[in-house]
Every structure is written in C-alpha cells, then in structure tokens.
Amino acid sequence: MVETPRRRAVVTGLGVISAIGSTPAAFWAALEAGTPGVGRIRAFDPTPLPCQLGGEVPDFNAKAVVEKAYRKTLNAMSRPVQMGLVVSQFAMQDAGLAKGTVAPERIGISFASVMGATDIDDLAGASKRSSVGARQAVDMAVWGEKGLPEVPPMWMLRYLPNMPACHVTIVFDMQGPSNTIIPNDAAGVMALGEALRILRRGAADVMFVGGSEAKVNPLSMSRFNSFYPLTRRNELGGAAVRPFDEAASGSVLGEGGAAFPLEELEHAKTRGANILAEVVGFAAGVDRPLAGPGLARVIRTALAEAGIQPADVDHVNAHGVGVPALDRFEANGIGAVFGKDVPVFAPLSRFGNMGAASGAAELACSLLALKHGRLPGTLNHAAPYPGCPITVHTGSPRPVTKPYAVKVSATDLGQCAVVVVKRWDGGA
C-alpha cells in the first residue's frame, strides 16, 4: 500500500493590529527600532487603578476600513469583534485573496477569542433603573421588571467569543470548517494547530487563523487589577514589562489582533501566492503544577512532528508576560529542551498581553524575522533573574542563521501550545 504524502501548510499573508503598528511594514519597523507601545492609558482616566498602563491602539476605526456594505453591522460588534474582522480583512488583502477566489466550501476559519467585557454604556441604564436604597444596590426584582428592558437587544451578541469568526465567515463567504478557540493566552497557537490538522486531513484548502482582543477598557482593567499580577510600576511607562528579568514586577494588558491564511502548499503554488513560512510542527498539553516538565514535553512533541532537533532552531519565541512565577515556569520548560544555546525572544513587552490574540501577534514577529533574516532584541530585559536557565536575546537585531523558529504559548492555568515554523526557501 502506497502511503499518501502528508499535505503541507504554508502561511501566505499577514494582518496585524497592535500598539506598535497596524500594517506588517509598520509593525516590523517598530520591532527593529525597539519602539515601545505600552504607555499610560488614554482611552479613559486610569488614575484610580494600581496599574495605569496598557498597550492601546488609539487610531483604530473599523468604519474607515470595512467595506461599505457591512458597515452597519459594526454596530452589532464590540471592539474585539471589530478588530477580528478588520485584521482578517488585512490578512486577506496581504495574501492576494478576496471573496470568491477560493471555493466557499474549501475555505474556513480557526480563530482565538474570549468573552468580551461589556461596554459600561450597555448596562449603565439598566443598573441605574434597578438600583434602590441608600447604597443604590441593584435589586434583582426591579432589574427584571425595569432594568432588563434597558439592555440593548443585541447586547449578548456583541460579546460572545465566537462572534469574530462568525462575522468573518459571513463577510468573506467562508463555508468550510469554522472554529473558535478560547483558552486565553494559548488560544492563538491552539487555533493554528486546529487549522493545521484540518488542512492535513483535506477538509479545506485555506484556513484563516488569528485572534483578537481588547482588554484596555474600564471593566477589564478593574477586574485584572484585582485578580491578575499587573505591574504597579507606572512610572516606567514603556519599560514596565520586563520578561525573564530580575526586576520583573508584573504584566500589562494590551489590545489588537493578528491573522493569516494557512494554505495547502500546492493550492498556494497554483495561485502564485507569496509564501512567508511553512508550519511544520504543533503540539499542545497541560503542565500542572506550573513547573516546566509538561511544557518541555509539549515542545519536544512539536519538534518531533517537525522532524528536527533543538540545534536546528534559530530562536524560541516566548510568551514572557513579565510575571516572575509565570516567566520562571516558561523558562524552565524552554531551558529543559534548549538549554542556553538557543536564543529566546519575548515580544509581549512591546505591546502588552493581548490574551487570545497574543499567540498570533507574537508569532507574527517570528514570521517577519524569518522573512527579513533578522531577529529583533527583547525589550526591557536587562539582567536575567538568578538561576534563569535560558538566554534572552536583547539589543540590536541579530541575523537569523537557522531555518526554524519555535513559538511557545502558555496560560496561568498551565495550558501549553507550541508551533514550529520554517523559513520558506521555495522548495522541498
């Protein structure tokens, strides 16, 4: 019996929205220049919050970008949903794709998203109508009678995590597999892994992969300031997030998104696509407690699927949130596989933690590094914490000397996802 060759998957375009740039060219220029995108929040007054920093996208305007026929539907989308639609449109354009250029049943989507935080205006009227007594506490009986009618009818549909994928499939007539992946910071890389499996089993020829998130709003910032280790070093501004550093003090939230078409190789060649990289390995798993062995196992599984050794890897793209306990967990896993021989690059400190969009946005940095042949330095890493088992690349961009990059994503609950990408050299 002749074994059928495994279908290969390549990246053929890139869309990005971030605090450091919202085109691949602007994004790459900021990466090379070491431009920070984190700063004091401007969308609202953050003074009452312990952490007053964020990675904002101040110039985002979906109506200026989305096709006129679909602009009315933007009213039914929250900010992260709008970002998901726009970044997917950017990726379509960059890949030379348009509605109808691929048979609808052969193009699908695997998108990373989480439940969005409601805009205050959506519930403020209902809350006001339902508040009683000297403390103005919400009375649920009054809420049902007088408050609920004040809630916009489309309220829930603005925030559900599957809405970015839904709107993208409608606008671009994608009738193939449609999946929403939700495990927070690991969701972007897991979405890529799901798309890779779909392509390999022949269920589609093109899968759109990406993620979008918008956490820089009053409700999310209040919640994360209460329950997540955000930095309180507001005076540091763009230097506040310090991945794998002895002076790390916490993370910063960001917003934005990234998306790209993952395309079956022969399909991409037939239409003359501009190939950025090939996805050659993926694995996922859980590390509990957050110690590193589970993450190391996932990394080794991804390398094995790619058919390579640690010495073949140019760099590891880490999540590097700047939270000491989480950075140590990630460094332990990476160090157990690569030691200090393979440089580690952690781009999150430039644009903040985008949550579900983090994996795709961080991977975009390595895709561009492979394309341009230069790896930017990690921002704000001055000195490794004592006993750090990895080597963090800092300073000026260094030449990319090997064809493979490994992207590591992990959550604070121990969910891990790893993808291996290969620089496209036009061939075998």
- Domain of 307, CATH number, reads 3.40.47.10
The mean pLDDT of 155-168, rounded to a whole number, is: 93
pLDDT surpasses 90 at 116: no
- The residue type found at 99 is K
Among 270, 295, 318, give the residue marking a domain's end.
270
pLDDT surpasses 60 at 3: no
Query: Which of the 8 DSSP states describes residue 183?
Result: S
Same domain, 261 and 301: no
- The residue type found at 48 is P
| Domain assignment of residue 345, yes or no | yes
| Domain assignment of residue 147, yes or no | no
pLDDT surpasses 70 at 1: no
pLDDT surpasses 50 at 101: yes
Q: In a 3-state reduction of DSSP, which class is residue 306?
A: helix
Same domain, 324 and 262: no
| Domain assignment of residue 126, yes or no | no
pLDDT surpasses 80 at 2: no
The 10 Å Cβ neighbour count of residue 162 is: 16
Rounded Cα–Cα distance for residues 294 and 114 (Å): 24
Same domain, 220 and 344: no
How high is the pLDDT of residue 300? 98
How high is the pLDDT of residue 4? 57
Q: What is the enclosing helix (H) or strand (E) of 294?
A: helix 293-306
Check: CB of residue 345 under 8 Å from CB of residue 314: no
Cis ω for the linkage preceding 183 (within 30 of 0): no
Check: CB of residue 248 under 8 Å from CB of residue 385: yes
Same domain, 205 and 76: yes
Q: Would strands 343-345 and 313-317 be described as parallel, antiparallel, or unpaired?
A: parallel
Q: Out of 87-91, 126-130, 246-250, 307-311, which region has the weakest mean confidence (pLDDT)? A: 126-130
Q: pLDDT category, 122, cuts 50, 70, 90?
A: confident
How high is the pLDDT of residue 428? 60
Rounded Cα–Cα distance for residues 265 and 10 (Å): 6
Q: Out of 138-147, 165-174, 198-207, which region has the weakest mean confidence (pLDDT)? A: 138-147
Same domain, 361 and 382: yes
The residue with greater pLDDT, 378 or 155, is: 378
Question: Given the structure tokens 């101040």, which residue do they identify?
Answer: 58
Same domain, 190 and 86: yes
The 10 Å Cβ neighbour count of residue 104 is: 14
Same domain, 262 and 337: no
The mean pLDDT of 101-114, rounded to a whole number, is: 97
User: Would the pTM of this model clear 0.75, i.e. be above it?
Assistant: yes
| Domain assignment of residue 145, yes or no | no
The residue with greater pLDDT, 375 or 124, is: 375
How high is the pLDDT of residue 210? 97
Among 218, 236, 270, give the residue marking a domain's end.
270
Same domain, 262 and 290: no
Q: What is the mean pLDDT of the chain?
A: 95
| Domain assignment of residue 316, yes or no | yes
Among 270, 290, 325, give the residue marking a domain's end.
270
The 10 Å Cβ neighbour count of residue 15 is: 27
Same domain, 308 and 343: yes
The mean pLDDT of 60-69, rounded to a whole number, is: 92
Same domain, 51 and 167: yes
| Domain assignment of residue 382, yes or no | yes
Percent of the residues in the chain that have a pLDDT greater than 70, as a whole number:
99
Same domain, 296 and 416: yes
| Domain assignment of residue 53, yes or no | yes
pLDDT surpasses 70 at 427: no
| Domain assignment of residue 79, yes or no | yes
Range of the domain at 392: 280-423
Q: What is the largest CA-CA distance in the chain?
A: 80
The mean pLDDT of 321-331, rounded to a whole number, is: 98
Same domain, 191 and 115: yes
Q: What is the total count of domains within the chain? A: 2
Rounded Cα–Cα distance for residues 341 and 77 (Å): 46
